[in-house]
Structure 1
Amino acid sequence: MDISKLSLDEKIGQMFICGFHSLVPDDQIRKLIKDYHLGGVIYFRRNIDELEQVASLSSSLQELAADNGDLPLWIAIDQEGGMVARIDHKKMSRIPGNMSLGATDNPEYSYEVSRISAEEMLQLGINMNFAPCLDVNNNPRNPVIGVRSFGENADKVAEHGAAVIRAFQEKGMSAAAKHFPGHGDTSVDSHMGLATVEHDLDRLQQVELKPFIRAIQEDVDVIMTAHVIFPAIETEPIPATLSRSVLNGLLREDLDYKGIIVTDCLEMHAIAKFFGVGEGTVKAVEAGADVVLVSHTLSDQIEAFEALKKAVQSGRISEKTIDLAVERILSLKQKRIASLQTSAKAPVFLERHQKPEVDRLLKEVSLNSVTLVKDQGQLPLETSEPVLVVWPEVRSETQVDEPWTEVVTLGDALSGFMANVEEIRISAEPKQAEIQKVLSAAASCSQVVFATYTAGSSLPEGQRILAEELQKQNHGKLIVASTRNPYDLNDIPAIPAYLCCYENTPYFMESLAAILVGRGQAGGKLPVGLDEPNTVGAS
């Protein structure tokens, strides 16, 4: 891969990863490859149907790049595991999310499940994963990180993150640690606005930066930037993505990082709303970014390409800056060339029962992750008595939440152990009619299990009201199990029994059901602190 053979347009093209909106190569992605010599592609749910289709799509995209005389593409995805997984298919192993793994307190689990994930994604022609998330989630009201973090202990986040990076890269897949210098202690979602981390540099070194320092020691291929302001590092009120003090000064010079720096998506409001995608692209490259991510809109993507080219032609950015970035890009592509050129034409994908070793491991991880936080004599359930299960559903897609196609509810899972299970499914943000329906059904039931679900910064108001009203009904057994963010107990502290599952995926609901009826033991430890003191699952 010889940079001297590339034109300016081709070099700039290598500095972009872009998304598109179809299951096959459409006009958008064809134009970006043909006219702009695109360096990489990112997949979202909109690009995923059957797994064979994904493998075929990857092959087609690589063939388009080759036919255009371009280098192999990075084909990237946000397959973090748990509640953040773009590929939701029954034949894809449902890898636990970071906080689930953090609750096991066993980095070996993080390594083993990440090896499985990398093997399966490489079969799909995916060669870069925007993971692991190395943010230290020490703010319970963080609206966007939450269970995407391994927890609030920086040393443990570093250990788990290093295990994931090692597993991915040993298999030939590029890992991308994110979101540098740390998005954990924020109360603003950078998809929607600008967040600030006010801590001084000493504190940042001890907490936020520690997992990234470890990732650099693991020779992580890629680090993704955060659209977050860090006044201790950058005096101007600009996010890290656009800060030369953060990217060049701190990451390149102070931490001696040699790999690729990629931006988070520049269409996020923290950049697009305040700076514009085109100007944001130029500022990011000036700051030290090697690769720019523009995930969605063709007009924004073209604006970004043209803005960067104009900046070089005008002398605002030197071609030497471009060359240094592209040399790093070519070096990594050369290093990972085997996986970049691997795109299985007819890969074999199996149901989980056909993968006994994987199935056994994921069951073991889930049991050792589910955390019993509090029990005032509510456990176990009486299997001979009826039980009412309340199950909030994700019914609309947001920037941090996506409905699942394969769902095993807690009611489904409990029905494998108990004969008389009634389940009422409600919205994740229930209105009064749904609340009243549950309360009416619960009035004659002595056992109620409420599987709360929070994707944002606090338990939705309707779920909080429902939990409090169920408590007032004074059931013989009332159990709450959080099935995403573990902080729900902070909003409903009077609940007599509380467990944390960190995700509502099938393995975790099956393990939770076994624990509720006394057929399994919750082995997890809380990876974050709750307001409730002296909790039994505390780390």
Structure 2
Amino acid sequence: MSPKTRTRRAAIALSALAVGAVAITATGGASEPQQPADLLQEMTLEEKVGQLFVTYAYGRTADTPHPKNKEEFGVDTPAQVVQKYHLGGVIHFAWTDSLHDPKQIAELSNGLQNAAVNSGAKVPLLISTDQEQGQVTRIHEPATQFPGNMALGAGRSPEDAERAAAITGQELRAMGLNQNFAPSGDVNVNPANPVIGVRSFSSDPALAAQLTAAQIRGYEDSAGPGETVSASVKHFPGHGDTNQDSHTALPVIEHDRQQWEQLDAPPFKDAIAAGTDAVMSAHIVVPKLDDSGEPSTLSPKVLTGMLREELGFKGVIITDSLQMEGVRQKHPDAEIPVLALKAGADMLLMPNDLQVAIDGVLNAVRSGELSEQRIDQSVERVLALKSGRGVLANPFVDVSKVDQIVGGAEHLGEAQAITDRTTTLLRNDGVLPLKPPAKMFVTGAGDDATAALAERIGARGPQTSALATGLKPTKEQIDQAVEQAKQNDVTVVLTSAAWSEANAGQLDLVRALQQTGKPVVAVATRDPYDAAHVDLPAWVATYSDKPVAMESLAKVLFGELAPVGKLPVPVPDPNKPGTDAYPFGHGLGW
């Protein structure tokens, strides 16, 4: 980012409260100009506290009654959830019945904004999701799909990473979403990491930092404020070196200060320099950085000391989901949001019981445990973000234009071209590229992936069949795959985290296919670590099982495309601890 751009972004962050905002009527028209600072002064304490909370609501429209809303929030519709709690933000998921198609999402977003600006504090919402792309994708086709961060790491192109984020962000904004909880700035230095993995750009801090900053620019600077989304780099101070999942446990990372500076900090430093609107905290314990035993989300040393004071971050700090076990092990639900605010957080994501969480904060203010001034500080940051991103000026979207923007031919073509530059050939003992055989067989993990690859192979001439055997193939499935392989000239087998002990049956499948004596090409469609576990003549890494990645794979298989991806992580040799079967940067071509 140029100094001029940095200056502009800093001005937005520091002075947005002095910028005029436009109040929006029920029909989406502009009324009297309104100062964000005036909004804060006019809010009740309950309205201010509500601005600090982000949660979900159930239903495909703002006015759709859903029994889960009644069960969890005591009201019927998503609009009523927004109005009851004066929410600062709403997050969309498929499991909340919120994500069906682009026009429906846009209409839902407009309905929620209408509820917000015509009740309580009259402040538009941040509407968010986790559209990281790749493994964590909330909105699928027809929205443009990308293979995810580790694939972009294999491509080594900051320009591609930035463009992927720009396309993703502009499509989200067209659907009424104005905040994306992405990118993951975690440096995946632990191959056994069960929660980050391909969500990380790389195990190399410099490469991860470069691509993290590129994506911040893509999300936030690729168009005008009303056409882009707020980025939220995650998970601070760095979730890359753990073998536990903070959704179900409280991971402990043993990095000392020097290791943190060298390994974990660079992507967050570069994201802040690039102007990220928000940083998401991690529910991890790093005892050598903070000996309190608290997860980083609840740690003043981490959020205020390291993130605010040392790294100079002035934007919004948002917690990861407060329903995760990593933050709920040591404290009751009423205390968790209070401790997070004391630590330095501004927005509180998805508390386990929203009413309990809000009451906990209100009671803490009324008792003097938290000052109202402290609440005001966070509300000011939230309003500054909303103003700088154009949400206060116009939170609504034009539903009639959604189909022109989301999944358009130009975006799809760019996504394919970017993905074509990520496929990595790890081993090739004279197998690839294939001369189109008469019959090919596709098997392995992923119903959609095996079908997509078989379709793309078939389009190139060979008679093609597919058999998905899942993450944990049974002996019967393996036997069936072997019999089909014997009837074909070449087999392509897809693996997905086969290195994990839980998925070891996939390795049995690959070995059984190898015993047929027919040519077998193995493809790691998630982490590339699978390639070290079975000694096959041909291994490819795609880092993704999406159709866009399967198209790139088909091009490589038949020599239409030279593989140019380079490993963004080393692949350790499971039989020789401390050595790599395939080193960082490895990648064959022709």
For Structure 1 versus Structure 2, the TM-score category normalised by the shorter chain is: over 0.9
Alignment of 1:220-259 (within 5 A): 220-259=276-315
Which of 381, 384, 401 in structure 2 is aligned with 1:347?
A: 401
Distance change (3 Å), C-alpha of 1:257 and 1:410 = same
User: 1:111 — aligned with what?
Assistant: 162
**Cα offset, 1:245, TM superposition:** 0.6
Q: Which deviates further from its counterpart, 482-491 or 454-463?
A: 454-463
User: 2:49 — aligned with what?
Assistant: 12
User: 1:369 — aligned with what?
Assistant: 422
1:538 has 2:586 as partner: yes
Distance change (3 Å), C-alpha of 1:535 and 1:414 = farther
Which of 357, 376, 389 in structure 2 is aligned with 1:336?
A: 389
**Cα offset, 1:472, TM superposition:** 2.8
Alignment of 1:199-210 (within 5 A): 199-210=255-266
Note the alpha carbon deviations across 1:26-74, whole angstroms, 9 max, x for none.
4253343222211100011131112111000000000001110420100
C-alpha distance in 2 between matches for 1:229 and 1:143:
17
Q: Residue type matched to 1:245 in 2? A: K
Distance change (3 Å), C-alpha of 1:352 and 1:417 = farther
User: 1:465 — aligned with what?
Assistant: 508
Note the alpha carbon deviations across 1:81-137, whole angstroms, 9 max, x for none.
1221110122x1113311111110001001112111111111111000000110001
C-alpha distance in 2 between matches for 1:204 and 1:6:
40
User: 2:523 — aligned with what?
Assistant: 481
User: 1:44 — aligned with what?
Assistant: 93
C-alpha distance in 1 between matches for 2:52 and 2:584:
49
User: 1:53 — aligned with what?
Assistant: 104
Question: Could you tell me whether the CA contact under 8 Å between 2:55 and 2:350 is conserved in 1?
Answer: yes
C-alpha distance in 2 between matches for 1:369 and 1:165:
20
C-alpha distance in 2 between matches for 1:432 and 1:287:
51
**Cα offset, 1:524, TM superposition:** 0.5
C-alpha distance in 1 between matches for 2:135 and 2:381:
32
Q: How many residues align?
A: 522
C-alpha distance in 2 between matches for 1:419 and 1:138:
40
User: 1:68 — aligned with what?
Assistant: 119
1:387 has 2:440 as partner: yes
TM-score when scaled to structure 1?
0.92
User: 2:267 — aligned with what?
Assistant: 211
Question: Could you tell me whether the CA contact under 8 Å between 1:242 and 1:287 is conserved in 2?
Answer: yes
C-alpha distance in 2 between matches for 1:274 and 1:490:
39
User: 1:498 — aligned with what?
Assistant: 539
Q: Residue type matched to 2:60 in 1? A: L
**Cα offset, 1:382, TM superposition:** 3.3
Q: Secondary structure at the match of 1:138?
A: coil
Distance change (3 Å), C-alpha of 1:152 and 1:268 = same
Q: Residue type matched to 2:103 in 1? A: E
Q: Any runs of at least 4 consecutive aligned residues in structure 1 with deviations exceeding 4 A, and if so which?
A: 350-354, 455-459, 534-537
C-alpha distance in 2 between matches for 1:459 and 1:288:
38
C-alpha distance in 1 between matches for 2:327 and 2:175:
31
Note the alpha carbon deviations across 1:276-311, whole angstroms, 9 max, x for none.
33221111111110000016x6xx111111111111
C-alpha distance in 2 between matches for 1:352 and 1:113:
13
User: 1:512 — aligned with what?
Assistant: 553
Q: Secondary structure at the match of 2:327?
A: helix
User: 1:178 — aligned with what?
Assistant: 234
C-alpha distance in 2 between matches for 1:202 and 1:529:
22
Q: Secondary structure at the match of 2:280?
A: strand
C-alpha distance in 2 between matches for 1:354 and 1:19:
28
C-alpha distance in 2 between matches for 1:36 and 1:393:
41
Aligned residues: CA RMSD: 2.1
C-alpha distance in 1 between matches for 2:132 and 2:53:
21
Question: Could you tell me whether the CA contact under 8 Å between 2:445 and 2:468 is conserved in 1?
Answer: yes
Q: Residue type matched to 1:488 in 2? A: D
User: 2:318 — aligned with what?
Assistant: 262
Q: Secondary structure at the match of 1:228?
A: coil
C-alpha distance in 1 between matches for 2:539 and 2:147:
21
Q: Residue type matched to 1:154 in 2? A: P
C-alpha distance in 1 between matches for 2:404 and 2:490:
38
C-alpha distance in 2 between matches for 1:28 and 1:528:
46
Distance change (3 Å), C-alpha of 1:62 and 1:432 = same
1:33 has 2:76 as partner: no
Question: Could you tell me whether the CA contact under 8 Å between 1:150 and 1:156 is conserved in 2?
Answer: yes
Distance change (3 Å), C-alpha of 1:389 and 1:284 = same
Distance change (3 Å), C-alpha of 1:159 and 1:45 = same
**Cα offset, 1:443, TM superposition:** 3.0
1:85 has 2:127 as partner: no
Q: Secondary structure at the match of 1:348?
A: helix
C-alpha distance in 2 between matches for 1:459 and 1:451:
16
Question: Could you tell me whether the CA contact under 8 Å between 2:175 and 2:402 is conserved in 1?
Answer: no
| Percentage identity across paired residues of the two chains | 35
Note the alpha carbon deviations across 1:359-395, whole angstroms, 9 max, x for none.
332222112100001111121223133221114226x
TM-score when scaled to structure 2?
0.85
Q: Residue type matched to 1:487 in 2? A: Y
The runs of 5 or more residues in structure 2 that have no matched partner are 1-35, 66-75, 573-579
The runs of 5 or more residues in structure 1 that have no matched partner are 395-403
**Cα offset, 1:228, TM superposition:** 0.6
Q: Secondary structure at the match of 1:24?
A: coil
Q: Residue type matched to 2:510 in 1? A: A
**Cα offset, 1:6, TM superposition:** 1.2
C-alpha distance in 1 between matches for 2:273 and 2:498:
32
